[in-house]
Structure formats: structure tokens, C-alpha cells
Structure 1
């Protein structure tokens, strides 16, 4: 079974993310079977020709690929290995793809249990939100064997415009956790920036407009994520002058923001950490502005 020969797809979990992802599969050849603990959630799909199952076991019996988007590790385990779970009926060669963000250790554990039945388990968390799911523009980070990845590329392409093979089982989840670490640290930094702006008399809703506008142009934090290692850069590396300029601009602006915060009495701990860590994080070492501020603080 390859990606081009996967027939019927099953989808378990038709919530905020699962429903728009499953909807993209409705027009795919091969057919769709759905399952949700809320029977009414299945009606929009059965009205459009999908089949409905009453249990994971019933669903797995007729599907080549089963996508799972449920709440947490416990629910994923129950769906896969429970008394009426997928492994009760899944045929060898079936692929079980978990899109929920679970522990990477849970993914590895379940992959081993699936392998005993000849079933391919892939951890495939997604990024891009419900809007991305509806538009078919999600990013999917896949932990799988090479054979498992080959099977899911085509069907995943119905709801994603970027499908990345992150590595073996568990790697998809590890990549998602790193991605979300950045996401929520950025949210925290946004709240710090709002506090500074508010104290300075700035309309923070207008600031939000500027941030969304310019991030859409520059790519936000992702615009510096091009290196294939986090090790320090050699001075003859082609990235060294580029990231040295980024460091110089960043340290200048961070220092000015911290000075403003000092005058307004606004504590900016993330800003201070960013000033000291920006250059080393970019691989080009601490710049003069950060060194000067550090000397003053420790004088």
C-alpha cells in the first residue's frame, strides 16, 4: 500500500480542528468514515456521503488510514488500544495517524504496540489553526518510518500545504513542541511589549495591527531560522555577517526599549534576557551594546 493506493480514510474526532480537516477529505477518492463522541458532529459529513462508525474498531475494519484528533494522551491510548480500539480490527498495513499533540513517549509506546499488529503508527501534529485546516494550508510534522511517510503524503495533502518528515516516530511531536515553545514564548513577549506601549501612552490595538502587518511581510521569528545547527558560527561562514547585522540592530532596539522601560517603571524581563541572549543565540556572540549594558548593571 502506498500513498497513491490508500483508499478509505477514517477520521476520529470532529472538533475545532478535526472537523475542517475531515471536511477536506470528503472529496478525496476512496471514501471517508467518521466517528465522534457527539453524534450530531457526524451529521454534516454523513449528509455529504461519508459513512459513520459507532466505535474505533468498526471504523478501522474498513479503512486504510485512520486520522485521530482527540484531546489528550489518555484519549489517544483508548482510541488505539482500548477494548474496542483501532487495533482490535485494523489490518496489517493500516496507518494510524495521530494529529493530537501528545507526549513523544506516548507516540513511541503506541508505535511499538501497533507494530505488533503490522500497523504503521505516525505522530502527525499540525500547525496553522482551524483556518489553515479549512483552507488546506496546514503544516504537518510527521514522525514515521520512510514507508509510513510515503503512505500518508498524498492524503495529508488534502488538508496541508506543507508535510514535513521530521524523523522517526516521536519526531513529529518533538518538532511540534519546539514550534509551540516559540509560539507561546512569543505570546508572552507580546504581552510584555503591550505593557511597555500602554505605559508609554500608545494604543495597543494599533500596535497589534502593526505587528500582524509586518510579521506577515517579514515572516516573524521564522525569518532567522535558516541555519542547520545552533553551534557558534565561524567568521568565514556566509551567515556570520548577516546575523551580525541582525544582532547589531536587535541589541540597539532592545537597549532603547529597556531604557524606555526603566524611565516608565515597566519591568521587561524578557527584553533583558533577549538583549543578553540574542547574539549567542544567533551564533555570533554578544555584541558591544549588550556587553556595555551588562557591565553597567554589574558595576
Structure 2
């Protein structure tokens, strides 16, 4: 039996996600505070509901894509919330990035109503949602995960069971740590390039092109542990090579920055932590920088 799906919150992310559910068998019921937004979906055959509680009357799997923890709480357990009418065995899935503690708390409340709760934040942005290629990180029981995999497949081509409730959110926070730290590093690279008289728009084209080929930072995220790599391990020569190349290029960038008078704090952190983070220890260049001696 195909679960009927409800979708609450038709904003920048929710709108393209919900649109990809329109052609899915089982029917779609949508809800948003802005009636004019809902018309697009009802014109395409979806049902409209005025409140989250009304959505739960017509759906067994209910997705939520609102702004923050407070809105999620209201949608789930407010006076007109989903739990007022949710049928036992229903699954509530929150795609908003909220606190993992909030997710765990709401899971407990839902359990008292015999309703499953999953935190299911997404990665890939609105372009990914429009193309149906989002990544979804699901925190919840195995039973709930199996229930949501099929409907989530309408807007995602990677659906990961991160662990129990809260794990999906924790994975999203780790992913976004990389995302926004990389943005900050990119601004540092732009400052260096600009001081060197380069076209930083052209630099951006080069970065996007090469990252699409190499996988960017995710290319080194292949091990199942962050522990130090032992002798004889398959990854030791590969990541040692990555460290040595990285330390060389970072040191050259830092020398350029020094000549141009551009502070590069991210580069300083990177050269100190790259080898250790990769599990292979500092290389000769970083060791020399730390000790002021000669490379081993």
C-alpha cells in the first residue's frame, strides 16, 4: 500500500520538493500559511489543508520544511498541530535544520501518540530539489526509515540512514560545518588572488570546474575513522601524498601572501592541521615551519 503524503511549508526548499511529489501515486496534501502559494499545487491535482492537523487527516507520511525549531514545534504539537489528528503509525519527517535535542524531544512526544518521528535534513539546495538529486540524512528507527525511502526518492537520489533520531541533524551540522568553513576559506583565496592582480571571477570558474572533476573536499572523506593510519594501511601512501602536495602548495600561498601583505589565517590553520587531520601526521614542510629546522 502506498502511503499518502502531506507536505507542510512551501518555501524556497519545500516548494520544489513538494512539486516533485505531485506525480507520485498515493496523493499529496499541502499546507502553507500563504494561500496564493498553495494554488500551484491544487491546480496540479494536490489537496490543500488549512492547518497541519488537517494535513494529518489525509496523510500517513508528513514532511515539514519550515524555518526553525519554534515553527517545527508548532506544526508538530501546537493547537492545530499534526498530533491533534495523526493516525497511529504515521511518520512525521522534519527537513528543517533544527537542534538535535529538539528532534529527540519531539520524537518522545510523538511516540506517546504512537507516531514515528524522523529528522531528515537535506543537502543540495533548491537546485538539487528541482532536479530530484538532494541528499537526505535520516535519523529514526529502521521501520520509519523504510517508510520514508520511497516518497523521499521523488526529490532525492541519496537517502542515508544516519542512525537514531537526532543523527540526521548531527550529520547535517557536520556537513554544513565543512560547507561554510569552505566558504570562509574561499574568501581568503579571493583576497590573495585580488591582491595578486588576478581576476577573481575567473578563479571562481577554475574552482567550480576542478571541484566538479575531483569532488572537492569530499574527495578525502573515504575512511570510516579519523584515527591515525598505521603502517601497511592502504590509505597511508595515498593520504601522505595528499598531505605533501597540500603542505607544499599552502606554504607557497603563504609566502605569496606575506609578499603581498595579505593575512591568510585559514592557510596557517590548514598547514598545521592537514596531515594530522588526514591521519598521517605532519609532513616535512609543516614540521619545518613548526620547529624552524630543516625538513626530515
Question: Which of 55, 61, 65 in structure 2 is aligned with 1:65?
Answer: 61
Residue 193 of structure 1 corresponds to 189
Question: Which of 138, 141, 154 in structure 2 is aligned with 1:142?
Answer: 138
State the number of aligned residues. 293
Instruction: Name the SS for the 2:30 alignment partner.
Output: strand
How many Å separate the matches in 1 of 2:277 and 2:2?
43
How many Å separate the matches in 1 of 2:168 and 2:220?
21
Residue 288 of structure 2 corresponds to 292
Question: Which of 202, 206, 212 in structure 2 is aligned with 1:210?
Answer: 206
How many Å separate the matches in 2 of 1:293 and 1:62?
64
The residue correspondences of 1:117-266 to structure 2 (distance < 5 A) are 117-266=113-262
Q: Work out whether residues 20 and 155 of structure 2, in 8 Å CA contact, stay in contact via their aligned partners in 1.
A: yes
How many Å separate the matches in 2 of 1:157 and 1:149?
12
Residue 102 of structure 2 corresponds to 106
CA shift for structure 1 position 235:
1.4
What's the TM-score, normalizing by structure 1?
Answer: 0.97
Deviations 1:134-170 (A, max 9, x none): 1100000000101000101111000000000000000
How many Å separate the matches in 1 of 2:187 and 2:60?
45
Query: Does 2:32 align with 1:32?
Result: no
CA shift for structure 1 position 296:
3.0
How many Å separate the matches in 1 of 2:216 and 2:287?
26
How many Å separate the matches in 1 of 2:230 and 2:4?
52
Instruction: Name the SS for the 1:16 alignment partner.
Output: coil
CA shift for structure 1 position 6:
3.6
After TM superposition, where is structure 1 displaced by more than 4 Å over at least 4 residues in a row?
A: none
Structure 2 alignment gaps of length 5 or more:
none
Q: Work out whether residues 63 and 92 of structure 2, in 8 Å CA contact, stay in contact via their aligned partners in 1.
A: yes
Deviates more, 1:287-296 or 1:210-219: 287-296
Query: Does 2:74 align with 1:81?
Result: no
How many Å separate the matches in 1 of 2:123 and 2:265?
28
Query: Does 2:264 align with 1:274?
Result: no
Q: Work out whether residues 6 and 64 of structure 1, in 8 Å CA contact, stay in contact via their aligned partners in 2.
A: no
Instruction: Name the SS for the 2:158 alignment partner.
Output: strand
CA shift for structure 1 position 62:
1.4
CA shift for structure 1 position 7:
2.4
The residue correspondences of 1:13-52 to structure 2 (distance < 5 A) are 13-52=9-48
CA shift for structure 1 position 39:
0.7
Q: Work out whether residues 2 and 25 of structure 2, in 8 Å CA contact, stay in contact via their aligned partners in 1.
A: no
Deviations 1:75-112 (A, max 9, x none): 00000000110000000110000000000000000000
Deviations 1:24-70 (A, max 9, x none): 00000010000001111100000011010011111101101100000
Structure 1 alignment gaps of length 5 or more:
none
